[in-house]
């Protein structure tokens, strides 16, 4: 069953380990994925956090574009957390990506068949197959050392599609979301630290 976050940041203290994504996002403890949480409580907190997955339940997912010229493999859990972003490009493409460290992503074939699209800040890199036009992965703007993988581009068989967590992200108000992150990540991190000291 798909789940959407409706709780405040304090409900996630046991689930999320906060990390400063403006620093080195390649530093992971074990296998980790960055997760953006937009909570729909009255204060509308936005928290960027690192969700450490220490349970060892990673599997190799295979995927690629529609025509098959671009193929990749990615090490990720069978149960995934995907972003439902309302920014202009995500809405037009209708995508729901999940993120992994670049070390967990391997392009198997088709590098010469990819074209890259950037816009605005030129930081996010969207890779499309030159033949069929499908984007199966990209480099996120805030997480340049990660890969965003489009869940609909995974092959069937390794994904438990009945248990996908969907997290809303307000990409239409990107700058405000990042500003809220800079304020709220410190509050959640300090609150989590104070509880761990008890």
Q: In DSSP terms, which residues pair with 116 in a beta bridge?
A: 127
pLDDT confidence tier of residue 171, bands split at 50, 70 and 90: confident
The residue with greater pLDDT, 191 or 65, is: 65
pLDDT at 18: 31
pLDDT tens by residue, 3-62: 333 333 333 333 333 333 333 333 333 323 333 333 333 222 223 333 333 234 788 999
165 Cα distance to chain centroid: 12
149 pLDDT higher than 70: yes
Residue 177's pLDDT is what? Answer: 66
**pLDDT reading at 88 higher than 70:** yes
Contact (Cβ atoms closer than 8 angstroms) between residue 34 and residue 48: yes
pLDDT value of position 136? 96
Q: How would residue 156 be classed by pLDDT, with cut points 50, 70 and 90?
A: confident
The answer to whether residues 129 and 137 touch, using CB atoms and an 8 Å cutoff, is: no
Higher pLDDT among residues 179 and 185, named by residue:
179
- pLDDT confidence of residue 106: 98
């Amino acid at each position: 069953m798909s789940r959407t976050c409706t709780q405040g940041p304090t409900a996630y203290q046991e689930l999320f380990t906060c990390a400063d994504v403006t620093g080195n996002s390649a530093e992971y403890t074990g296998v980790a994925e960055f997760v953006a949480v937009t909570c729909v409580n009255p204060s509308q907190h936005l928290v960027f956090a690192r969700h450490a997955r220490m349970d060892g339940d990673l599997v190799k997912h295979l995927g690629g574009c529609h025509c098959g010229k671009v193929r990749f493999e990615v090490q990720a859990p069978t149960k995934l957390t995907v972003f439902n972003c309302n920014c202009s490009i995500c809405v037009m493409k209708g995508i729901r990506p999940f993120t992994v460290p670049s070390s967990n992503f391997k392009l198997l074939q088709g590098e010469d068949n990819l074209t890259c699209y950037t816009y605005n800040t030129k930081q996010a890199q969207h890779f499309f197959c030159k033949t069929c036009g499908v984007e199966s992965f990209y480099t996120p703007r805030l997480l340049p050392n990660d890969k965003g993988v489009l869940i609909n581009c995974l092959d069937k068989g390794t994904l438990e599609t009945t248990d996908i967590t969907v997290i809303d992200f307000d990409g239409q108000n990107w700058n405000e979301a990042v500003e809220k992150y800079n304020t709220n990540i410190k509050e959640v991190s300090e609150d989590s630290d104070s509880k761990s000291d008890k």
